[in-house]
Amino acid sequence: MKKIELEIVALSHSITQTHSYAVVLGEINGLRKLPIVIGGFEAQAIAVALERINPGRPLTHDLMKNFMTAFDVELHEIVINDLQEGIFFSKLVCSSQNDTIEIDSRTSDALALAVRFGCPIYTYEDILEKAGSLLDDETKKGSMEAVGAGTQDESAGKENLKDLSLDELNKLLTDVLEHEDYIRAIAIRDEIKSREKK
């Protein structure tokens, strides 16, 4: 069966489930998207890698990458290979000097590792047929901008970031980084960057 390559086009708070996030994968050479609901921890792990934030200590997926690298295991690709009762199943395609193996994985963990290794993400036609929808050109064009922007309303918390001064934003950024709330840090950092451009 032919594999279809995908890329992460958005990461935002899930509309359908509270305390969850949605990662939206877009077809590389097409207009279909595949939304996948993931947990907050996994969303944070993906956001940290996408935004190239360097946490003070390695997150779980960073540790996994370091472990694989230390033992000469390379991650070649991830494949979202099944969909059962609304749950996506994935596999990691890895190799060492002696062997190539496929390892079962939760899709959210597989995506967090794919971002860290810079490896391709694939799925099959039947999965896109069952769970995919059309991705408009504007969404595709602004794909990576949506990663930070999609989390802003959720991550702003009690304060509206636009109402805070630049000094207050910088102090808040320091505070959320100390508490390892990286998704919120992305929204704050984006607000600081947009003001510095003006």
Same domain (yes/no): 50, 26: yes
Task: Give the per-residue pLDDT at 167.
Answer: 86
pLDDT < 70 stretches in the chain: 14-19, 135-159, 180
Q: Which two tokens stand for residue 171?
A: 């102090």
How far, CA to CA in Å, does 81 sit from each of 115, 157, 187? 18, 36, 32
CATH number of the domain to which 69 belongs:
3.10.690.10
Same domain (yes/no): 127, 198: no
Residue of 159, 91, 124 lying closest to 2 (CA atoms): 124
Same domain (yes/no): 69, 166: no
Q: What is the domain count for the chain? A: 2
Task: Give the per-residue pLDDT at 136.
Answer: 58
Burial class of residue 2 in the structure, from the number of CB atoms within 10 Å of its CB (0-12 exposed, 13-18 middle, 19+ buried): exposed
Same domain (yes/no): 174, 133: no
> Which residues span the domain enclosing 159?
152-198
pTM of the full structure: 0.72
**Is-contact 45 180, C-beta < 8 A?**
no
Q: H-helix or E-strand containing 39?
A: strand 32-39
Same domain (yes/no): 44, 90: yes
Same domain (yes/no): 98, 62: yes
Same domain (yes/no): 42, 128: yes
Same domain (yes/no): 179, 81: no
Same domain (yes/no): 94, 62: yes
Same domain (yes/no): 126, 48: yes
Helices 40-50 and 107-117 pack at an angle, to 10 degrees, of 10
Same domain (yes/no): 133, 159: no
Same domain (yes/no): 121, 57: yes
